[in-house]
Amino acid sequence: MKKYHTLITVSGLELPVEITLERRDNIRYGITSKKVTLRMPIWQKTEEIQYQLVELQKKVQKFFLKQPALRESFVHKTYQTGDVLEVGQRRYVLDVSIEARGSHTGKLIGDTIHLQLSEKSTPANRVKAIKTLLSRVVAGDFYPEIRRRVLDWNDRTFRQHIKSINLKYNHSNWGSCSAHSNVNLSTRLLFAPNDVQDYVILHELAHLVELNHSDRFWALVEGHMPDYLEKEKWLKENRSKCDF
C-alpha cells in the first residue's frame, strides 16, 4: 500500500487529498470534515490518477451542493488585530502581531487575547497556529467553569471516580472518556449552548459506568436527560459553526 497527498480546488477552496494505492479492484471516493480521500488499485498509472482527481473534484462539488455545512468545515477563519472572537457568552478582542521570534505564543490579558506569531513561519502555518493558540487560551479561561460543571453533574448522577478533566481541541469528536476515568471535552464544544454542553458532559460521564454505546448506556443518558436526542441533533446540524 502506498499513500500520497495532494490538493484539489473546489468552490474556491483548496482541499487536502489523501490518495491510497492498495490491493483493490475498484475506485472509492470519500470526504470527511478534514480531508478528501481517493482509494485506487495499486497498479494505476499516473495518467489515470490525474483523471480520477478531476472526477474527484466533480464529486466533491456535488457533495457540497447537497451538504453546504460540509463545505464550511474546510473554510479557514482568518484573524487580525481588532477582531472579536465570541465563544458562548464571552467576547475576546484579538491582538495579532508577527514578530522576529522562533515560536508562536498566546496569552489572555483582561479580555484581550495577544497572539505573537513567528515571522519565520509560512502563512499556512500561522493559520494553524492561531487556531491552536486560541483554543489553548480560551480553554484556560473556561476550564474552571467546565470542571465545576463536570463535577456537579457527576455528583448529581453517577458519582464515579474521575481521574482528570481535560479541555482541549479535538476535531474528531466532542468528548471522550478513557478506561482510566479521564474525561476529555473538546474546546469546540464551548461554542454550543450550555444545555448541549451539559449533554456531552453527561454522555461522557455515563461512559464511566458503561464504556460502550449499548442499550444500557443510552438508558443511563436518557434517565437523566430525556430530550438528549435534541442535543444530538443540534450538534450534527451546527458542527461546522463550532470551531476557532
pLDDT at 69: 77
pLDDT at 174: 97
Using left for φ > 0, alpha for ψ between -120 and 50, and beta otherwise, residue 88 falls in left
pLDDT band with cut points at 50, 70 and 90 for residue 207:
very high
The Cα 84–Cα 92 span in angstroms is 6
More confident residue, 221 or 74: 221
pLDDT at 180: 95
pLDDT band with cut points at 50, 70 and 90 for residue 187:
very high
pLDDT at 128 over 90: no
pLDDT at 67: 85
pLDDT at 231 over 90: yes
pLDDT at 216 over 80: yes
pLDDT at 160: 97
pLDDT at 37: 96
Compute the average pLDDT of residues 168-196. Answer: 96
Provide the percentage of residues in the chain whose pLDDT is more than 70. Answer: 100
CA distances from 38 to 4, 44, 59, 172 (A): 10, 12, 11, 20
pLDDT at 148: 98
- The maximal CA–CA distance of the chain, rounded, in angstroms, is 62
- Domains in the chain, ordered, with CATH? 2-72 (no CATH), 84-241 (3.30.2010.10)
Q: Structure pTM? A: 0.78
pLDDT at 181: 97
pLDDT at 101: 94
pLDDT at 239: 87
> Each residue of 30-85: pLDDT tens digit?
998 789 999 999 999 999 999 999 999 999 999 899 888 788 878 878 899 999 99
Retrieve residue 139's grid coordinates.
480553554
pLDDT at 223 over 80: yes
pLDDT at 145: 98
> Each residue of 93-109: pLDDT tens digit?
999 999 999 999 999 99
